[in-house]
Amino acid sequence: MFGYYLELAIRSLKRSPGLTALMVLAIGFGVAASMTSWSVFRAVSGDPIPWKSSQLFVPQIDTWGPNGRSADGDPPNAMDYTDAVALMRDHRAKLQSAMYEISPSIVPADAAKHPINVSGHAVYSEFFPMLDVPFKYGTGWSARDDQNRAQVVVINSKLNQKLFGGANSVGKSINLERQDYRVVGVLNDWNPQPRFYDVVNSGGFSTEGDAVFMPFQTAIQAAIPNDGNTNCNAVPKESGFVGLQHSSCVWIAYMAELDSASAVTAYRNYLNGYARDQQQAGRFSWAPNNRLRNLPAWLDSQHIVPSDTKVSLLVAFGLLLVCLVNTVGLLLAKFLRRSSEIGVRRALGAPRAAIYTQFLTEAGIVGAAGGVLGLLLTAVGVASVGWVLPKDIAALARLDVSLLLLTLLVAVIATMLAGLYPTYRASRVQPAWQLKSN
């Protein structure tokens, strides 16, 4: 029976090719616009570390007091050196790391070659196990290396390719800012988006992954300056990088792993206790006002998804909605034009259910055709999204099987929904009236 409906539907669609083409085009454009924006939105709002994000927390300490808070009362979104080092020393979480952005230059041994600049982060040893960072060769450094300010680095596979031709370089040394560092590990491809461990500096997204990681205190000792943002509520009293460390300027990111609800409560109490201690010591003249958000909440509070992306998504959904209203209208016209045909079929004994099946089949075919067109247009859209969006974000939009299936599914389901009312009207056609008027 379905085959018969299919044949009927195709015959009917062929009868008015203009109207059919119009519906297919509308569905195709509507679906493609929505799916293209969706692919971008999905990429920027995705969870960069889904298996662990609810256990990763970002503490915020109210170093600046009431005058330095944001409009909603939040303390600064980074830490000053004093707090970051104190939290690391107390070591109350299962795993934790303070970190800051660095951009050291690598001076090649060959004097004829130009020095190159690499970006990276100075972190603590627990950074690697905490974030499940994948290694190709070697491992991260040890807690001892942290304490001893060891001259070690972890490099990413791209830099390893550039400097060592991709070979296992563990144990070899590289020269950063005229000091030699021993490579202890080489990362596998790792460039999570958003760059969740330091969104304040990356704005969330960057096409280039970090190339170098070195122990935090080693970098401090070697005076490798902060390459990320520095925010101050007052001008530092002393000059230079050391002055920055003594100042209340915030420039250090911090992340801690807390595995259970009780660990979170304990850590929250610890932070409040720390702030009270600072208050008693006279460093803070205000009550504790800390924050401890898990990663998804933290990314949300930092508005990682650009509002342009959200607006585009909404506008694209709006377009789809208009396309569907349009389709409802056109299907209504198309179905009711065949009132006499429906009348004949009903008079010959077709139940309402049969009318429903017939017309929903027809709507489904329009939807499927629109979906196929939508697929093509989505592919074009995803490929050309770089024209209208910043590169870092556009590069994240991908065409994959799930997106393709979703495109088809949305097209067919949306069109069948659009076909419901016209079909209902068609099924209400009074056979007697139609037959009489003929």
Partner 1 sequence: MNMQIKPILIALRRHKAGTFLIALQIALTLAIVCNALFIIHQRLANLSERSGVDEANVFVIQNQWAGDRTQQQIDAQMQADVLALRQLPGVRDAAPISGGYPLRGGGWDNFVTMTPDQVKPTTDSAVYLGDEHLLDTLGLRLIAGRNFRSDEVHGMGTEQVIIPPVVIVSKALAERLFPDGSALGKSFYAMGSTPSTIIGIVDLLHRQGASQWDKAHAGQSLIWPARLDDVAGTFYVVRAKPGQLAAAMREAPKALYAQSRMRIIDPKDGIQDYAEIRHRVFDSDRGMAILMGIISAVLLAITAAGIVGLTSFWVGQRRKQIGVRRALGATRHDILSYFLTENLLIGIAGVAVGTVLAIGINLWMVTRFEMDRMSMAYVGVGVIVLLLLGQGSVLAPALRASRVSPVEATRSV
- Binding of partner 1 at residue 211 (CB under 8 A)? no
- Which amino acid, residue 231? N
Of the residues 54, 191, 230, 279, which one makes contact with partner 1 according to CB under 8 A? 230
The window from 45-53, 71-79, 100-108, 268-276 that contacts partner 1 (CB under 8 A) reads 100-108
From the list 68, 67, 92, 95, the residue with the least C-alpha distance to 79 is 68
**How many positions of this chain bind partner 1 (CB under 8 A)?**
65
Strand partners, 137: 186
Strand partners, 174: 181
- Binding of partner 1 at residue 379 (CB under 8 A)? no
Which residues have a Cβ under 8 Å from the Cβ of 236 and sit 6 or more positions away? 243, 244, 246, 247, 249
**CB nearer to partner 1: pick between 105 and 272:** 105
From the list 401, 405, 398, 402, the residue with the least C-alpha distance to 371 is 405
Rounded to whole angstroms, what are the CA distances from 392 to 147, 193, 204, 315, 387?
Answer: 36, 10, 9, 22, 12
- C-alpha to C-alpha distance for 138 and 120, rounded to whole angstroms: 18
Of the residues 109, 353, 387, 401, which one makes contact with partner 1 according to CB under 8 A? 387
Q: Which of residues 136-195 bind partner 1 (CB under 8 A)?
A: 177-178
Neighbouring CB atoms inside 10 A of 252's CB total 27
The window from 150-158, 211-219, 332-340, 403-411 that contacts partner 1 (CB under 8 A) reads 332-340
DSSP secondary structure letter of residue 54? G
**CB nearer to partner 1: pick between 234 and 432:** 234
- Binding of partner 1 at residue 225 (CB under 8 A)? yes
- Binding of partner 1 at residue 22 (CB under 8 A)? yes
Write the DSSP assignment of 310-325 as a string of letters.
HHHHHHHHHHHHHHHH
The window from 113-121, 131-139, 191-199, 280-288 that contacts partner 1 (CB under 8 A) reads 113-121
Q: How far is CA 194 from the centre of its chain?
A: 5
- Binding of partner 1 at residue 250 (CB under 8 A)? no
**CB nearer to partner 1: pick between 45 and 294:** 45
- Binding of partner 1 at residue 319 (CB under 8 A)? yes
- C-alpha to C-alpha distance for 223 and 359, rounded to whole angstroms: 74
Write the DSSP assignment of 115-128 as a string of letters.
PEE--EEEE-TTHH
- Binding of partner 1 at residue 357 (CB under 8 A)? no
- Binding of partner 1 at residue 301 (CB under 8 A)? no
**CB nearer to partner 1: pick between 60 and 312:** 312
- C-alpha to C-alpha distance for 376 and 33, rounded to whole angstroms: 11
Q: Which stretches of the chain bind partner 1, using CB under 8 A? A: 19, 22, 25-26, 29-30, 33, 67, 103, 105, 107, 111, 114-117, 177-178, 223, 225, 227, 230, 232, 234-241, 243-244, 247, 306-308, 310-312, 315-316, 318-319, 321-323, 325-326, 328-330, 332-334, 336-337, 387-391, 421, 425, 438
